[in-house]
Amino acid sequence: REFMIEQVIQLRSSIGLAVGPTPLQFEAAMAAQNAPAGKAPTLIATQKIEAGAKEEEEWESMDRVAWDQQGRNVDYYVFLDGVGNVSKDDLSVRITETSIEIKVKNLNGRRYRHNVRRLHDTIRPEDSFWKVKKNCVVFKLCKDKEKKWSKLDFDPQESNQQQDLMHRMKGDPENAMIEMMRGMYQGGDDDMKRTMAKAWHEAQEKNARGDNRPWDKPFPPLG
């Protein structure tokens, strides 16, 4: 100990009094180092908050929507009062081949989010765009195929029915076609039923005259 103190004094003398501890400070430091360890601090249990759940709770939904389609174009409207007043940094939109999402922050101190996780069918993001109006965000989506959508989002039941029809068409195409037309007739509106009834009547007349072509073969009553 005495040797270490002497070394400290020599060091202080060689480089200046402002550097290094005094002998009293050195003794205090050695005493503190040799003192018995104190009681270990008690850990305080804290409630764990899942970040994902908290993030989910902070977003409010945007439920007022409408849509329309014409050919390959789909117009989708998401309504939110005052959305046109938010800054560009507080509005984010994501369009993929199968989904769309919009997030709005700092609108009267609140945050909003809306998404369609899976669209009815694929679209072309590079040919789609969006724009903001005073109280609405408008999506202009371009379908990948010019095919009429029965609804905006994906319908698993409708997809299963189409796959089932394709399977039956491979086994017995004639009966599968009859079943499909019967379903269209029974689920169609009055105009659809009149059109299909007229086509069935004309096919019956051609068959009676004997001038029916093979593909004009009349199908059974649909009602």
Q: At what angle do helices 23-34 and 2-15 cross, to 10 degrees?
A: 140
Residue 137 has a pLDDT of 96
Average pLDDT estimate for 132-155: 91
Give whole-number Cα distances, 8 to 11, 83, 136, in Å: 5, 71, 76
Task: Please report the pLDDT score of residue 46 as a whole number.
Answer: 44
Closest by CA position to 123, among listed 95, 148, 151, 104:
95
pTM to 2 decimal places:
0.50
CB 198 within 8 A of CB 190: no
pLDDT reading at 175 higher than 60: yes
**What Cα–Cα distance (Å) separates residue 87 from each residue in 17, 61, 134?**
60, 19, 12
* CA-based nearest residue to 184, from 151, 135, 223: 223
pLDDT band, very low/low/confident/very high, at 131 (cuts 50, 70, 90) = very high
CA distances from 31 to 28, 34, 138 (A): 5, 5, 74
Cα separation, 59 vs 53, in Å, equals: 11
Q: Is the pLDDT of residue 54 over 60?
A: no
pLDDT at 161 over 90: no
pLDDT band at 155 (very low <50, low <70, confident <90, very high): confident
Could you give the angle at the alpha carbon of 160 between the alpha carbons of 100 and 163, nearest 5°?
A: 110
Mean pLDDT of 27-35: 62
Give the mean pLDDT of the chain.
Answer: 75
Average pLDDT, stretch 175-193?
69
Please write the tens of the pLDDT for every residue from 64-109: 999 999 999 999 999 999 999 999 999 999 999 999 999 999 999 9
Q: What is the pLDDT of residue 180?
A: 67
Q: What is the pLDDT of residue 202?
A: 77
Q: What percent of the chain has pLDDT over 90?
A: 38
